[in-house]
Amino acid sequence: MRYETIPTTCSYCGCGCEVLLQVLDGELIGVLPSKASPINEGSLCIKGWNLHEFVVSERRLRKPMLRKGGSLVETSWEEALDEVAGRLAKIKSESGPDSIAALSSAKCTNEENYLMQRFVRAAIGTNNVDHCARL
């Protein structure tokens, strides 16, 4: 029998609210706003209060998907990456790098976001990079 709370930062937007993930016997059961955070002072918006849901959501993607014949089907990482790299290279050569934009995510780590913008700027050659946390 074990219950603990793990402090972390809400990943839904750029405000930086501190949340406590409630873990009961290894299972994520909910979120509490941190009372000690000068940022959110014990409050959250509706997204923060439900932050735990996507972690265990059944709708969460666990394998790469590729649209074939109009519908999404599971595929291998190999095929998915080949497809993305091939199409990006084709679009870049036909229409130029500024015809491509990338959206990154607050749910990634800082390092992953760094890699994303680095890839977009250095490999593709455009500054069209943004993220979902621009609230």
Does residue 113 interact with other proteins by CB under 8 A?
no
The radius of gyration of the chain from alpha carbons, rounded to an integer in Å, stands at 19
| Closest distance of CB 16 from other proteins, Å | 14
- Residues binding other proteins: what is the number (CB under 8 A)? 26
Q: Residue 20: what are its φ and ψ, rounded to 5°?
A: -110, 120
Site for other proteins in 50-79 (CB under 8 A): none
Does residue 34 interact with other proteins by CB under 8 A?
yes
Which listed range, 24-32, 58-66, 72-80, 115-123, lies at the site for other proteins (CB under 8 A)?
24-32
Does residue 44 interact with other proteins by CB under 8 A?
yes
- Residues forming contacts to other proteins in the complex (CB under 8 A) are 1-5, 7, 20, 22, 24-25, 29-30, 32-36, 38, 40-46, 49
